[in-house]
A and B are shown apart, each in its own frame.
Chain A
Amino acid sequence: MERLIKANFYKLIKRRETYFLLLLICVESAVSASIPKTGDTMFIDRCNIPLALDVELAFLAVIIFAENYAKGTWYGEFLNGYARRNIIISKLVVYGIISLIVSILAVGIPFIISSWINGGGYPSNWHAILSVFFSKNLFIISVMTLTAILLRKRIITLAVGTGICFFITKISEYLLEPIIPNIVISFTYILLSFIFIMLSIGNFSFQEVQ
């Protein structure tokens, strides 16, 4: 498993798209936190998450999962003697770590900039923001993984995965978060993520990959 994870990291490190995505998230976060919006005077309003984060996580899912179908590279991994379950789990681990880095950048940069613009300080409910944010990200990762494994095609994965995540997270943001406690929302996201990850592993274990 360790070798699989290392190999997946090596592949990501060698891809230019990975650096482009990281750069994009930094620029995007900085811009979104720096430009004042009408009515956004509170610290917390400035410290928001870039909208394109979903697209970027979907793009990572394409590189890590969906591309293997198009390029016909899955069987190379099977012939290295690894069980399908381990192959998919190793990719999930790498996807999770890279997504965490992207998420930290997406939260951290606006946080620092907002704090600087507002002359220091932090949102009083920062722990709630973080718990919802990271559970939401876990949910997005699980949806993107399942979408990539089921749909296989790069463009379709990108479009459908982003669409589903955007739709669900916006419903949560505007309809549920104002009335339901954050802890319940976080728990629901984590539960759904677990289900989708299990479905991804189960599906991949019996899938015709080429």
Chain B
Amino acid sequence: MSDNIIIIENLIKQYGKGSKSKEVIKGLNMQLVRGDIFGLVGRNGAGKTTLLKCIAGIVLPNGGSIELFGESNPKKLHISRAKIGGIIEKPPIDEDLSAWDNLKIYAIRMGISDERIREVLETVDLTCHGNAVLKRAPVKTFSLGMKQRLGIAIALLGKPELMILDEPLNGLDPEGIMWFRELVLDLNKQGVSFIISSHLLRELNEVATCYGIMKSGQIIGNITADKLHKSGENFEEYYKRIVGIG
């Protein structure tokens, strides 16, 4: 039995209408197996973020189909999205409120206890800043790295089965990057699947179990880490060959 949690077929997304329209996703096909860490790479403008936005329901596709956790009816997809946590472009944070209040708003929406909020704050290593900072200081006073950690905390709050992370390493310092790598691997062991879009190929190489290379709105290369390893090629070489660089 297939254990695909995402099946995307012939996805089309265009922005604008008429002569000014621009097709960003052009008949894209993709599958994500439960337990995978899918590394999504490609040049700026390749359509990576738009693909993630389509999955998250931020933008609506113009054609094709998206199946999430076995649900393909577009009118019911929102129910499956409760199993997804993520950061797309920037963390969904109200910067005028404190970290605690931001988490509390999401916790109320999902019917989650304060205990779980404390748990995720611990997981993302924000508790070291103290209760006063977390409960009183508005998030706009936080560093970029702290905001990113808070975004990850929000994504983790509902114990998601799938995490969608768009450039998650933005603003993280070297320690933060190492922490993030461990977090991803740890959560993956607990059964969480990932789609991680990043330009940092070497970092992605450390965690991904499969890769998708996007160019001009399509996935032009798709390979598992195992196959890549067996081929003797590293991911950077594979990427260059598929995209046609050097």
Contact = CB atoms under 8 A, between A and B. Distances in A.
Interface string B87-120: 0111011111110010011101111000000000
B78 A75 contact: no
A41 interface: no
B78 A71 contact: no
Nearest to B57: A78
Given A3-B111, A10-B104, A72-B90, A79 B81 contact: yes
Q: Determine chain B's interface SS by DSSP, over half rule.
A: mixed
A45 B105 CA distance: 44
Given A71-B94, A71-B95, A78 B105 contact: no
Contact of B105 (A7, A67, A72, A81): A7
Interface residues of A, number: 27
Interface size, B (range): 35 or more
A209 to B, nearest CB: 6
Q: Determine chain A's interface SS by DSSP, over half rule.
A: helix
A128 interface: no
16 contacts: A3-B110, A7-B105, A14-B98, A15-B97, A71-B94, A75-B86, A75-B88, A78-B81, A79-B86, A80-B81, A81-B83, A81-B110, A206-B60, A208-B15, A208-B60, A209-B59
Given A4-B109, A208-B59, 14 more contacts: A3-B109, A7-B106, A10-B105, A72-B89, A72-B92, A73-B92, A75-B88, A75-B92, A79-B82, A79-B85, A81-B78, A82-B109, A84-B57, A209-B59
